[in-house]
Amino acid sequence: MSDIAASTEGRLAAGDIELAYETFGDPGQPPVVLVMGLAMQMIAWPDEFCGALAERGHFVVRFDNRDVGASTHLDNVRPPHLADILMRRHLPYTIGDMAADTVGLLDGLGLNDVHLVGASMGGFIAQTVALKHPGRVRKLTLIMTSTGSRLVGQPKPWIYPRLLRRRAAADRPAAVAATVEIFRLIGSRGFPFDERYLRELAGRSWDQGDPGRPLHRVLGHGP
């Protein structure tokens, strides 16, 4: 297990958005930027994982996407309805906007080109960064993600209502229970279900001031 803790915590401007971020390791080492998925805080990249990358000679950056954690929350925009999401219309912002956020983060940290790692929705963001700004990406690593095509990687229809539930958790136990329920629905059936880890992660997310925001702020997949 790594003993390296996050050495830098801060917020910086990326266009009209402020992004909260943490870093691990020596800024002089090759940078690895980790992009998390829908409605998940940066702490979903485990501390031990980030520390292990730093121990192997990387400068690691993780951050909260817009509308998540300690980054800017766009509470003044109307969330899309299910039909809007399926038709990709009237979206408050798109994956392309979030890719621009990521590039703004690189600019603010003075990182010219990085190893970019995206998980789930973060993989959509990372792919868009690589397509629009290929000179900023040394290597692209994609985890449990897809291409944005309607032909692949879609949730089962019966899962949508649960993912898009608009009611936020009322308290910490409810937020923890909701997280466990969601990951039982979307998690891999081929690996053991780590409920203890998920409960700890959901509790930390609540304690850091982002009390289980509902998943209805689903974003457009297009650039």
Interval 28-48: pLDDT, tens? 999 999 999 988 999 999 999
- Most confident range, picked from 84-88, 136-140, 186-190: 136-140
- Name all domains of the chain by residue range, CATH numbers in brackets: 8-153 (3.40.50.1820)
Q: How far apart are CA 85 and CA 91, in angstroms?
A: 7
Backbone angles phi, psi at 61, to 5 degrees: -125, 125
* Chain segment 103-132, per-residue pLDDT in tens: 999 999 999 999 999 999 999 999 999 999
Average pLDDT value for residue range 78-103: 82
* Chain segment 181-204, per-residue pLDDT in tens: 888 888 888 889 999 999 999 999
What is the bridge-based pairing of β-strands 137-143 and 59-63? unpaired
pLDDT for residue 165? 64
Backbone angles phi, psi at 119, to 5 degrees: -115, 130
64 in Cβ contact with 172 (< 8 Å) = no
